[in-house]
Amino acid sequence: MADHDSNSNSLLENQTPNPDGNSASENESDASIDSLARQVQESLSLAKRHKFWETQPVGQFKDLGDSSLPEGPIEPPTPLSEVKQEPYNLPNLYEWITCDMETTEMCTEVYNLLSNNYVEDDDNMFRFNYSKEFLHWALRPPGHYKSWHIGVRVKSSKKLVAFITGVPARLRVRDSIVQMAEINFLCVHKKLRSKRLAPVMIKEVTRRVHLENIWQAAYTAGVVLPTPISTCQYWHRSLNPKKLIDVGFSRLGARMTMSRTIKLYKLPESTVTPGFRKMELHDVPAVTRLLRNYLLQFLVAPDLDENDVEHWLLPKEDVVDSFLVESPETHEITDFCSFYTLPSSILGHPSHSILKAAYSYYNVSTKTPLLQLMNDALIMAKHKDYDVFNALDVMQNDSFLKELKFGPGDGKLHYYLYNYRIKHVLRPSELGLVLL
Ligand SMILES: CC(C)(COP(=O)(O)OP(=O)(O)OC[C@H]1O[C@@H](n2cnc3c(N)ncnc32)[C@H](O)[C@@H]1OP(=O)(O)O)[C@@H](O)C(=O)NCCC(=O)NCCS
């Protein structure tokens, strides 16, 4: 049986980019063994029982391919008076808390829990290290609810041992705008794993979301649960190949030397697109128009207004970076690119402790070719000393990944909706959504 504790973390998997390393036949047989292994693993996880998820209003594996089921909410909302008013029961030694993420003390406690216990790769070489500033940003968008930032403490010592969060978001699914919660940062302390605490955390956040009269949610995970609306892949672009190889994030390609590898990934000193500059506050209306229009082409995408854009996309040092192209002639804003900062701790390495990673966020090209725009984003990330630039194969990303020397990661990221059925599994390119 697959063990859900071994988080197959698609976000951190070692990359084995293949600049001009392995021969084609070696690659093909590697790829077919990989894909066979994946198919076996996937069919095993499909056969697996999900004692908790089978009880929830989510797409069930047995219904896969049943196109008679309607698209949309799986269960209707219940009257608010019928939503359970008291929190779910926790084992006696523990208590619920609502985390006030406005205080540095609370941000520090959450930071400590996550930096020691959150997502690791399969080989336990890297662990996500979301910064306090990032958490403060990620959990306080316009209209956020404090009650959706949920912690569990040990009653006696007050130690924080589990966490889960939601933030409100409007998502568009085809033509419907749906109020949702984006659920993130589910974490149970390593010493409390496999005790069925996660289902209680999920039920409690669901209850608190229902109390706000919201009945749908979106989330991602590296593990297969009932049932992904889409399965995406991370790709990695080396910016500091020497460090990535030193720390075991990537390997030297066959018949490659370090100096050839460094040369292969070298980027120009400065960006090439005329009018390329950092986004500023006064750009919010233009960026909102550009992004809203662009996201219309995807089946599932956020419905962002100016307040959302100001919060999620206005640059914030070491949290989110955004750039745009302002036409030197017309001063029109024609293109946009952005990435967020999510370092990982490097576990047990003698000389390196942090891997500085940029994650592609929302990008829009109307005049500048996407390839050139993203190359400028890479140049900016390199300039800011990131070691690696990661991107999912969502939206139109597939069109630049190979050409800009991204290599595929070996894990997957699955996207899920709670209490919303989608008839067909979506291709990553039909998804216009990036969750942090
Ligand atoms: C994810 C985590 C909280 C799960 O806790 P756990 O102690 O391993 O598992 P529990 O015994 O409490 O609960 C198991 C149930 O939670 C479900 N579950 C596990 N990981 C999950 C996830 N990421 N999202 C939703 N449900 C999840 C399991 O599928 C299982 O339900 P099922 O029987 O219906 O399949 C814990 O492993 C952890 O903190 N991991 C590191 C951080 C992490 O990976 N977070 C999730 C990021 S998406």
pLDDT digits (tens, 9 = 90+) for 45-57: 567 899 999 999 9
The answer to whether residue 384 scores a pLDDT higher than 90 is yes
For 173, how many CA atoms within 13 A lie in the half-sphere containing its CB? 22
Alpha carbon nearest to ligand 1 atom 37, residue:
5
d(CA 415, ligand 1 centre) in Å: 15
d(CA 412, ligand 1 centre) in Å: 16
282 and 305 belong to one structural domain: yes
157 and 283 belong to one structural domain: no
369 and 235 belong to one structural domain: yes
Instruction: Write down which residue in 159, 188, 219 finishes a domain.
Output: 219
Computed over every residue of the chain, the mean pLDDT equals: 92
Determine the residue of 56, 188, 192 to mutate for testing ligand 1's pocket, defined as the one with the most ligand atoms within 8 A of the Cβ atom.
188
So what's the pLDDT on residue 417?
98
Alpha carbon nearest to ligand 1 atom 10, residue:
196
d(CA 265, ligand 1 centre) in Å: 37
Which atom of ligand 1 is found nearest the CA of 188?
39
d(CA 125, ligand 1 centre) in Å: 20
Answer whether 232's CB lies under 8 Å from 415's CB: yes
289 and 381 belong to one structural domain: yes
252 and 321 belong to one structural domain: yes
251 and 198 belong to one structural domain: no
The beta strands (E) that lie in 2-158 are given as 94-98, 126-128, 149-154
Does the residue 19 lie in any domain? Answer: no
Q: At 411, is the pLDDT very low, low, confident or very high (cuts 50, 70, 90)?
A: confident
* C-alpha–C-alpha distance, residues 378 and 236, integer Å: 11
Domain with residue 261: its CATH number is 3.40.630.170
* C-alpha–C-alpha distance, residues 7 and 277, integer Å: 38
Q: At 91, is the pLDDT very low, low, confident or very high (cuts 50, 70, 90)?
A: very high
Determine the residue of 3, 58, 186 to mutate for testing ligand 1's pocket, defined as the one with the most ligand atoms within 8 A of the Cβ atom.
186
Residue 401 belongs to what domain range?
A: 231-430
Does the residue 40 lie in any domain? Answer: no
So what's the pLDDT on residue 45?
58
200 and 255 belong to one structural domain: no
pTM here?
0.92
Q: What is the CB < 6 Å shell around ligand 1?
A: 4-5, 7, 50-53, 117-119, 186-188, 193-199, 221, 223, 225
Which atom of ligand 1 is found nearest the CA of 200?
12
Strands 276-278 and 320-326, by their bridges, are: antiparallel
Alpha helices in 280-330 (DSSP H): 284-295, 306-313
Alpha carbon nearest to ligand 1 atom 4, residue:
198
For 108, how many CA atoms within 13 A lie in the half-sphere containing its CB? 3
So what's the pLDDT on residue 44?
55
302 and 381 belong to one structural domain: yes
Could you tell me which residues come within 8 angstroms of residue 404 by beta carbon, excluding any fewer than 6 positions away? 237, 371, 374, 375, 378
The answer to whether residue 26 scores a pLDDT higher than 80 is no
> Residue 124: what are its φ and ψ, rounded to 5°?
55, 45
Which atom of ligand 1 is found nearest the CA of 225?
29
Does the residue 242 lie in any domain? Answer: yes
Domain with residue 85: its CATH number is 3.40.630.30
Q: How many domains does the chain have?
A: 2
The answer to whether residue 40 scores a pLDDT higher than 60 is no
Does the residue 356 lie in any domain? Answer: yes
pLDDT digits (tens, 9 = 90+) for 215-229: 999 999 999 999 999
Answer whether 253's CB lies under 8 Å from 18's CB: yes
Distance of CA 43 to the CA centre of its chain: 24
So what's the pLDDT on residue 187?
99
d(CA 1, ligand 1 centre) in Å: 15
User: Among this protein's residues, is 93 annotated catalytic?
Assistant: no
pLDDT digits (tens, 9 = 90+) for 117-157: 999 999 999 999 999 999 999 999 999 999 999 999 999 99
Does the residue 324 lie in any domain? Answer: yes
The answer to whether residue 24 scores a pLDDT higher than 50 is no
Does the residue 294 lie in any domain? Answer: yes
Instruction: Write down which residue in 174, 189, 219 finishes a domain.
Output: 219
Burial class, 160, CB count within 10 angstroms (exposed 0-12 / middle 13-18 / buried 19+): buried
pLDDT digits (tens, 9 = 90+) for 266-323: 999 999 999 999 999 999 999 999 999 999 999 999 999 999 999 999 999 999 999 9
* C-alpha–C-alpha distance, residues 107 and 151, integer Å: 12
Determine the residue of 4, 204, 415, 418 to mutate for testing ligand 1's pocket, defined as the one with the most ligand atoms within 8 A of the Cβ atom.
4
78 and 204 belong to one structural domain: yes
d(CA 271, ligand 1 centre) in Å: 42
Does the residue 8 lie in any domain? Answer: no
The answer to whether residue 90 scores a pLDDT higher than 80 is yes
Which atom of ligand 1 is found nearest the CA of 55?
34
Does the residue 17 lie in any domain? Answer: no
316 and 361 belong to one structural domain: yes
The answer to whether residue 94 scores a pLDDT higher than 70 is yes
Instruction: Write down which residue in 160, 195, 219 finishes a domain.
Output: 219
**What order of strands is seen across the sheet that includes strand 126-128?**
126-128, 344-346, 354-355
Which atom of ligand 1 is found nearest the CA of 52?
34
192 and 252 belong to one structural domain: no
* C-alpha–C-alpha distance, residues 314 and 152, integer Å: 32
150 and 209 belong to one structural domain: yes
